[in-house]
Amino acid sequence: MERENYKRHSTEGQQNKLQRPFNNTISAIFIFGDSTVDSGNNDYIKTAAKSNFPPYGKDFVNHTPTGRFTNGRLVTDFIAEYIGLKETVPPYLDPNLNLDELLTGVSFASAGTGYDPLTAQISSVIPIQDQLLYFREYKSRIAFAVGQEKANSIINKAAYIISCGTNDFVVNYFSTPFRRYSFSVSSYMNFVLHNLQQLAQGLVEEGAEKIALVGLPPMGCLPIMITLNEGFSDSRQCIDKFSSVARDYNKVLKKIVKSMQLYHPTNPNFKVVYGNIYDPLEDMIIRNPQKYGFSDVNTGCCGTGLIEGAILCNPESSICSDASQNVFWDSVHPTETTYYHLFKALHSTSDPGNNNYISTPFKSNFPPYGRDFFNQIPTGRFSNGRLANDYIANYLGIKDYVPPYLDSSLSMEELMTGVSFASAGSGFDPLTPTLSNVISMSSQLEYLKEYKSRLAEKIGMDKTEDVIRKSLFLVSAGTNDFVVNYFTIPIRRRNYTIPLYIDFCLQHLQHFMQGILDVGARHIGVAGLPPMGCLPIVITLYSKNPFTDRGCISNFSDIAQSYNQKLQSQLNSIQAGLADQGHKIGYLDIYGPLADMTAQAEKYDFKEVNSGCCGTGYVEASYLCNPKSYVCEDASKYVFWDSIHPTQRSYDIVSQSLQPTIDSIVH
């Protein structure tokens, strides 16, 4: 399936386009780095590190060798097309670029370069520091063409990608003795990362606000590294001592990314993200090559595939019959197919929403959802940005946001630090997920058991049980049981009064709790219901005059309070029976903070409390809130994003109110 999907998007047939999101936020794309993102700048300088001849470009438009070190497009080309800017990112040094090409973004990258200035000297290419100088020159050019104000807007709203570092180790440190005289591996890593940070800071000073810093690949799996260190034997396995350097480097880079983001708390538009290419490449090469349709993972398509790169891969070289079956094009660089899968992985790492991966109308993986998320990506979260559980994960120092379990591209690190099994539209009543065709709570429990097995296979059962034992489990459901199910359709009302239905739902919650306890959960927080009568959709459907009287409907909120009181008693009973075994179970009050926000809007500087930001705010949710919907200018002034779900700011406030309870559960 992956292979067929790739072929539909292959650049050999340009009528087939990547599906683009609705983009009115990213003005341009600017690329800095080495051969992984160089679209041909080396064509215009004196260097042997060129690829502007066949068989390079074999699968590019019209089979043109462009200077890209692959058979077709690069990952940055796929990204540029996906965000709706252009199908390929041109090199800045191309003298024939028109103004439109300049305004929508260029690549300053140079194959063979690195963050270490010596790396560029070895290959006679453009140092990364000079790429920043070219960018400053670029700014002057466009300011002259379109005026300073418009130029500043383009610079501020652009996406910046920095992908470099492999040559510092492969071409420089491990291949020549110069740096090894003065640096250990760890000190050289710090030296390289310091230079990376200086480049990123230089871009920030020039006006960059959206920056992706790409990590290193599993260097020990590059065909040239295998050849140089193991020779030409038939045993061609990845060399972990080189890949481990990349892993250590990536860990430090993630910390740099986090620290850079923290340095700019007053600028809501400032985003720095880590681009993980290590895990997806490792998955393609080692764990699941068949998943991607690869049959050759340790030699390149060009020549022997053992040593060829640049001028050694030339018109006289033999070529494999189908490059899409190879991870690598030459002995260093991936094929276009690999870059396409990397693009998908880089997109998916910011795509948490389990409903994205099932057939259901309850989706939100399209604008304007995600308008205020990282890089303005609609992830499947039913909000304009992050959820309460994202803020809780960040508060605990685990991660900035919790990804969905059904995202197949998740790395082992992502899995080990936590995932969400939740499904929008689900509930404790088995009928509720059936109505919405979403993932039931029982199925979510089965996914948890599957997750435990996956971890055990990778890290062993003892370590897996330790991870489970020390994890925080958050359970939040029940609203749909009443709003989508009980009050909307008559099936349950025929057999249950409201008190009996509350007991029915809590009985299923108890069964679910027992299930996660059996898996090994020790720290559990269970959320109650919100003030349901204050949800915009409930006001619209049940108010006598929804257009003039939009106050909360007390009897619906009273039901939520009754449910919450019984839930607290139930949790106290469970806790009492397990306290001597080290379990900590807590009630998470979301009713109180949400009721306070709607009752005392001025206290939180909210302007609108009874309608959502999207559309009229009265009935819109899921597909009714879409790219054609009107959206309020500042969602932070609204309690609700659509007619059911809170805004990112509301979730932030709720999560802050929960912090004392979270502390009591985890400590």
**Contact, 647 vs 638, CB < 8 A?**
yes
Residue 453 catalytic?
A: no
The number of helices, as runs of H, and strands, as runs of E, in the chain is 25, 11
**Contact, 273 vs 258, CB < 8 A?**
no
Q: One of 9, 645, 652, 655 is an active-site residue; which one? A: 645
Residue 322 catalytic?
A: no
**Contact, 483 vs 537, CB < 8 A?**
yes
User: Rounded to an integer, what distance in angstroms lies between the CA atom of residue 9 and that of residue 12?
Assistant: 9
User: Rounded to an integer, what distance in angstroms lies between the CA atom of residue 272 and that of residue 262?
Assistant: 10
Distance between start and end Cα atoms, the chain: 45
Q: What is the dihedral of CA 80, 82, 83, 88, to 10 degrees?
A: 20
Look up residue 492 and give its DSSP letter: G
User: Rounded to an integer, what distance in angstroms lies between the CA atom of residue 231 and that of residue 568?
Assistant: 66
- How deeply is 519 buried, as exposed, middle or buried, from its count of CB atoms within 10 A (0-12, 13-18, 19+)? middle
Q: Which of 128, 134, 133 is nearest to 194 (CA)?
A: 128
Q: One of 34, 116, 279, 642 is an active-site residue; which one? A: 642
Q: One of 348, 636, 650, 655 is an active-site residue; which one? A: 348
Structure tokens at 277: 């290419």
Strand order in the sheet with 523-527: 472-475, 523-527, 584-588
User: Rounded to an integer, what distance in angstroms lies between the CA atom of residue 362 and that of residue 596?
Assistant: 28
**Contact, 126 vs 111, CB < 8 A?**
no
Q: How many other C-beta atoms lie within 10 A of the C-beta of residue 101?
A: 16
**Contact, 72 vs 11, CB < 8 A?**
yes
User: Rounded to an integer, what distance in angstroms lies between the CA atom of residue 422 and that of residue 587?
Assistant: 18
Residue 443 catalytic?
A: no
Structure-token match 């932070």, residue found:
636
Look up residue 605 and give its amino acid.
Answer: D
| C-alpha torsion sign, points 643, 648, 650, 651 | positive
Q: CA geometry: angle at 72 spanning 70 and 77, to 5°?
A: 100
Positions annotated as catalytic residues are 348, 642, 645
